[in-house]
Structure 1
Amino acid sequence: MKVFISFDGLCESFNILPGQTVKDAKQMIKDYFHIQLSDDKKGRRFLVLMYAGGVLRDEWVLTDAGITVCSTIKCSVKEEEKPALYVYNAVTMEKVQIMGNFHLLAETVSRLKSLVSLKCGFPVSVFCLKTLEGKEMYDCNTMSDYKLDLGVTLRMDVWDGWKELLSACVLGHKQNVQHYLSRRKPILRYQQRVTLYIAAYMGHLELAEWLTKKGARADEAVGVHPYREWCCETGHPDIGKCAIHAAAENGQLLLIKAFVAHNVLCLECQNPLGQTPLKVCILHGHKDCVLYLIMKMWSVVSFPKIHLPMSVYIKVKKWQLRAQKQIFKVKKWAPDFKTKVGDPFVVDGFTEPKMTSRGLHGLYQDKWKKVMGKSQTDSSQAFVNAVLTLKNSATKISRFPSVKQTAVYPFKKRREAGWKSVDDNETLKNNWKAQIPLPPISNTTNNRPRHLTTPYATFLLNSSLESYTIHSGRTPRQNAIYCLSLASEFKEKPWLQQLDIARMLAKKTVYNL
């Protein structure tokens, strides 16, 4: 069967044998026209055959595709650029393609994280990049430092215990997001900003409105995880991006309208590059968003006796917001959500990484194993101690003090005879205990402030109490009894003032050591 092949302005005839496939025809055309095809890491050049407006697949037989004698088939060469890198998203289980050439490998990891953030919609402070060997890639290094080649696949890991939350954010499930939010206030506030950012990028209007009602602001920067607050000044530049910028980058018009209606300060909110949402929409070519933002920027805000342009009204709102923050700072109304002493922190390259994309189930399972292992160790140690106690009690003969012996020797004679003097603290304790009993001795089950519940803080506290006992000769409880007994001698003073006197005496004993 004779057919005509049209290629690059030429039309040549070819004899097609029965049963030949499109792939065989492509090989004939390649040899006849001396076409150079390629399939390497940089890209791919391949032939495309079209008949009647449709593309012919390689496995099709030409005669079965409806091609008749003297038909004309159009042939063309297409070039397809391959991605420079692939990034495996541990949350969505998908591969993100990063387009580029070998020049991309000379860029910093910080630049690569910005590209990945634009592709997947996650803030840069939520994830980290790792090689397939598990080596973490830091922002300040270049990709060539890790000896990467074109077409290599990297892994994107998120904070441990966040996998379920981020999956719910991507899908826009408000109930699941509410379920997986943290109970700790610093982490909760950060998770709300992250969730609002992802909702703005994905276009989840219901989730975004729910978060704004909870206090999240679209013009507030996402920032960094509380574990990294101490080094946020040297963090990635994109940590200053807000949810309104994510909506502008992805052209989410409904989200932009909702954010502006809730807070007009979003109109002039700037990203780390100094770009407003209008500028971001212009750069990304979102025409509808540009028209809406221009209309809002040139609108007028009307009051009963005055009309203000939007630019002036935004300046007034900014001034009002700064004044409110100053008042809250002076009167300490604003809650403090910063990290405190004893909270965990992350140091790149030194501390154990906490961004391995482990789910909540894995974290709970590890905690359960630690608790069970510790309880088994404690139970075995308690059993050994009990056996030793029984053994000692079986061999030891109890000797009770003689009543006559203690009655014969008065206090002075016992001291002269070399007997151990009676502890004054015990006497004061017996005299004062009947008036105001002390609370029970604290143990590990008592509630303590949050910054004293960590193992290191407990070690410091116990070591301080032991050193006080060694240097003062009294335990802290005995010292409290002693000070309270002295303060109780001021009988004309109210009990609370006596308590203040006892507190001052206790401080003096510590300072005089």
Structure 2
Amino acid sequence: MKVFIYFEGFCETFDIPPDQTVGAMKQMVKERFLVQLSDDKQVWNYLELSYGGAALQDSWALSDVGITSGSTLRCLIKSEPRPVMHVFNAVTGESLPVPGSEALLHMSVARLKTMVSMQSGLPVSAFRLSVFTDVQLYDCNQLQDYAIGVGATLRLDTWDGWVEFLQGCVLGHRLTVQSHLSDDRIVMRFQLRVALYIAASLGHLDLAGWLLERGVHAEEPVGVHPYRQWCHQTAHRDTGKCPIHVAVESSQLLILKLFITKNLLTLACRDPAGCDPLKIAIKNGHRDCVRYLANKLCSVVSLPNMPMPVRIYLQMKHWVSLGQKRAASNRCQYVSASFEARVGDMLLVDGFNQPQMSSKSRKAETKQRRGIRAKALQRLPPISNLLSVSHLHSKRAPPHLPSLQSVKPGDFKETQKKRKQDVKHRNDGPLYKTKEGDIILCRGKFTLPPVTRENIPKPLFVGSSQKSSNILTASLESFSQHCGRTPRENAIYCLSIASTFTEKPWMKQLSIARTLIRKHVHSMA
């Protein structure tokens, strides 16, 4: 088929097969237009082919994305700064690039965790960074202390048993988040705060609304894990961030409106740097958020027989909350409420304990807990029973097998008759008649369906047998194992790629997504 390539004011015709890949097409463009890309250590220059408003990936075939004969592709030379390092996210399985210059290698680990948190949407208290040699990076150290150079790859790990929970938070699946919450109440409350933080960062409105109904507050900081709450003085600075701050930083206007509608006091919530949401929106240049927050702060609250500006109302509420905290601290309730650890809980101190953040799945954690719980819950017999059992074991004779005897043919027939009589006697039971006159046999607790003696031919229904369903289940499991994504996640991934073709109608985008899914299945076969 013939396609047209438009590059820097020139349009050339290319005669290519329909299954031609985009990567091979770029090589043909380089040879036809004599394109030379400069190789720089700090800047990466590359060719980009676009069609229908979407950038084409090198592994795609032209026919997979609906490119037919006579189509026109646009070719551009783009440049991007080369990332200084990469961070492999064990939760999503993706590699996050860290852009910047070599000067970033002299920054602190805490600063790097802040950058990774903004890219991934995870709070800093939900993950740790380490080198692939399993050397953990601590916040108080510099990157150069670990001899990390340009192009290095770090690893992001989360708490053991949290992988499925965080995957549900990143995708915005409320049922997945709910089913993977911890059994420990203190850890579960921390997980709910983490889930609201991620929902505010990635814009999952449904998940955020459900968490607010569960009692999670948008003006409450995420904090640290309960295992580390006795070391909160050395915690990362961003642990004091609230979901309302992350929603403003990420320019999630719908989430921001939801938080403020739920509680007006979130307008006065300050981050660890002392900035309220309006200052954060101005600092990041999010005009829609600035306009909405400014209108809210200039509005009026209707109180009984007296309208009051929002700024004065927020200031009065702040005074009341300070008075409540001071009164509680005088009664020694507020100080004790800040630490909710109990005797016997785990305590983690950096550099002294085995790390509990190795991204182990919840299934492995539950297996270990079940084994320990089964051993712990195993009841011991009383001492008298133990003595009697040991006495019986001492007197018990060794096991004796019956001797083999010859059996005559007549005896064998008699034993068969006896067995048939026993089975018939066992099956005999009370008979009950229904209103229609059908006889129902009741044997014990089980009821058999009525027996019909009509010789009426019944229609045949062709349906899926159990064997076919087993084959389908095995196919889906093998697909998930080789692809790394479930069929549903793969469908969402292909639909998100197809939605980038903004110049195509919706039905055309849907056909592109179907073609990509079919290609994934054929490539695995």
TM-score greater than 0.5 by the shorter chain: yes
Indicate conservation of the 8 Å contact 1:131/1:137, yes or no: yes
Q: Summarize the Cα distance change of 1:56–1:370 in structure 2 as closer, same or farther, 3 Å threshold.
A: closer
Indicate conservation of the 8 Å contact 1:22/1:56, yes or no: no
Looking at structure 2, the residues matched to 163 and 98 of structure 1 have their Cα atoms a distance apart, in angstroms, of: 23
Equivalent residue number for residue 214 of structure 1: 214
Q: How many residues align?
A: 370
SS for the counterpart of 2:95 is strand
Equivalent residue number for residue 437 of structure 1: none
Looking at structure 1, the residues matched to 91 and 390 of structure 2 have their Cα atoms a distance apart, in angstroms, of: 55
Indicate conservation of the 8 Å contact 2:89/2:155, yes or no: yes
Equivalent residue number for residue 434 of structure 1: none
Of residues 345, 350, 353 in structure 1, which corresponds to 2:352? 350
Looking at structure 1, the residues matched to 168 and 49 of structure 2 have their Cα atoms a distance apart, in angstroms, of: 44
C-alpha distance after superposition, 1:171-190 (max 9, x if no partner):
22223322322333322222
Equivalent residue number for residue 363 of structure 1: 365
C-alpha distance after superposition, 1:314-373 (max 9, x if no partner):
011112223334455566887946112321111112101001111211112223455678
How many Å apart are 1:140 and its aligned residue?
A: 1.2
SS for the counterpart of 2:124 is coil
Indicate conservation of the 8 Å contact 1:108/1:140, yes or no: yes
2:41 equivalent to 1:37: no
**Alignment-mate amino acid for residue 116 of structure 2:** V
Equivalent residue number for residue 262 of structure 1: 262
Q: Which stretches in structure 1 are left out of the alignment for 5+ residues?
A: 68-72, 395-513
Q: Summarize the Cα distance change of 1:82–1:320 in structure 2 as closer, same or farther, 3 Å threshold.
A: same
Indicate conservation of the 8 Å contact 2:300/2:309, yes or no: yes
Indicate conservation of the 8 Å contact 1:37/1:46, yes or no: no
**Alignment-mate amino acid for residue 26 of structure 1:** K
C-alpha distance after superposition, 1:102-121 (max 9, x if no partner):
11111111111001110111
**Alignment-mate amino acid for residue 262 of structure 2:** H
C-alpha distance after superposition, 1:10-47 (max 9, x if no partner):
x9xx9x999998636735865xx9x6721x65332356
Equivalent residue number for residue 144 of structure 1: 144
Equivalent residue number for residue 295 of structure 1: 295
Indicate conservation of the 8 Å contact 2:26/2:47, yes or no: no
Equivalent residue number for residue 504 of structure 2: none
Matches within 5 A, 1:322-471: 322-328=322-328, 336=337, 338-369=340-371
Looking at structure 2, the residues matched to 88 and 54 of structure 1 have their Cα atoms a distance apart, in angstroms, of: 26
Looking at structure 2, the residues matched to 128 and 241 of structure 1 have their Cα atoms a distance apart, in angstroms, of: 17
Looking at structure 2, the residues matched to 222 and 209 of structure 1 have their Cα atoms a distance apart, in angstroms, of: 17
**Alignment-mate amino acid for residue 356 of structure 1:** S
Indicate conservation of the 8 Å contact 2:85/2:152, yes or no: yes
How many Å apart are 1:253 and its aligned residue?
A: 1.1
Equivalent residue number for residue 249 of structure 1: 249
Q: Summarize the Cα distance change of 1:75–1:343 in structure 2 as closer, same or farther, 3 Å threshold.
A: closer
Equivalent residue number for residue 476 of structure 2: none
Work out which of the two has the higher radius of gyration on C-alpha atoms and give 1 or 2: 1
Superposed structure 1 runs of 4+ greater than 6 Å apart: 5-9, 16-22, 47-51, 53-60, 64-67, 73-76, 331-335, 371-376, 385-389, 391-394
Equivalent residue number for residue 310 of structure 1: 310
How many Å apart are 1:389 and its aligned residue?
A: 6.8
Indicate conservation of the 8 Å contact 1:7/1:76, yes or no: yes
Q: Summarize the Cα distance change of 1:24–1:120 in structure 2 as closer, same or farther, 3 Å threshold.
A: closer
Looking at structure 2, the residues matched to 173 and 258 of structure 1 have their Cα atoms a distance apart, in angstroms, of: 18
**Alignment-mate amino acid for residue 37 of structure 1:** S
Looking at structure 2, the residues matched to 325 and 261 of structure 1 have their Cα atoms a distance apart, in angstroms, of: 25
Matches within 5 A, 1:227-246: 227-246=227-246
Equivalent residue number for residue 173 of structure 2: 173
C-alpha distance after superposition, 1:352-406 (max 9, x if no partner):
1001111211112223455678999x99xx9xx9899769999xxxxxxxxxxxx
Indicate conservation of the 8 Å contact 1:41/1:150, yes or no: no
Q: Which stretches in structure 2 are left out of the alignment for 5+ residues?
A: 18-23, 63-67, 396-525
Of residues 5, 8, 27 in structure 2, which corresponds to 1:23? 27
How many Å apart are 1:75 and its aligned residue?
A: 9.2
Looking at structure 2, the residues matched to 161 and 37 of structure 1 have their Cα atoms a distance apart, in angstroms, of: 46
Structure number with greater CO (CA < 8 Å, separation at least 6) is: 2
Looking at structure 1, the residues matched to 56 and 197 of structure 2 have their Cα atoms a distance apart, in angstroms, of: 44
**Alignment-mate amino acid for residue 140 of structure 1:** C
Q: Summarize the Cα distance change of 1:307–1:373 in structure 2 as closer, same or farther, 3 Å threshold.
A: closer
Indicate conservation of the 8 Å contact 1:88/1:156, yes or no: yes
**Alignment-mate amino acid for residue 252 of structure 2:** Q
Equivalent residue number for residue 119 of structure 1: 119
Looking at structure 1, the residues matched to 235 and 26 of structure 2 have their Cα atoms a distance apart, in angstroms, of: 55
Equivalent residue number for residue 425 of structure 1: none
Q: Summarize the Cα distance change of 1:341–1:7 in structure 2 as closer, same or farther, 3 Å threshold.
A: closer
CA RMSD of aligned residues (A): 4.3
How many Å apart are 1:162 and its aligned residue?
A: 1.4
Looking at structure 2, the residues matched to 48 and 206 of structure 1 have their Cα atoms a distance apart, in angstroms, of: 36
SS for the counterpart of 1:128 is strand
Q: Summarize the Cα distance change of 1:234–1:333 in structure 2 as closer, same or farther, 3 Å threshold.
A: closer
Q: Summarize the Cα distance change of 1:390–1:47 in structure 2 as closer, same or farther, 3 Å threshold.
A: closer
**Alignment-mate amino acid for residue 201 of structure 1:** S
Looking at structure 2, the residues matched to 56 and 185 of structure 1 have their Cα atoms a distance apart, in angstroms, of: 47
C-alpha distance after superposition, 1:235-282 (max 9, x if no partner):
111011000011101111111112112222211211112221112222
Equivalent residue number for residue 153 of structure 1: 153
Select between 275-284 and 178-187 the one with higher mean Cα deviation.
178-187
Q: Summarize the Cα distance change of 1:65–1:50 in structure 2 as closer, same or farther, 3 Å threshold.
A: farther
Indicate conservation of the 8 Å contact 1:107/1:142, yes or no: yes
Q: Summarize the Cα distance change of 1:214–1:332 in structure 2 as closer, same or farther, 3 Å threshold.
A: farther
Indicate conservation of the 8 Å contact 1:48/1:56, yes or no: yes
**Alignment-mate amino acid for residue 117 of structure 1:** S
Q: Summarize the Cα distance change of 1:134–1:373 in structure 2 as closer, same or farther, 3 Å threshold.
A: farther
How many Å apart are 1:79 and its aligned residue?
A: 2.7
**Alignment-mate amino acid for residue 106 of structure 1:** H
How many Å apart are 1:296 and its aligned residue?
A: 0.5
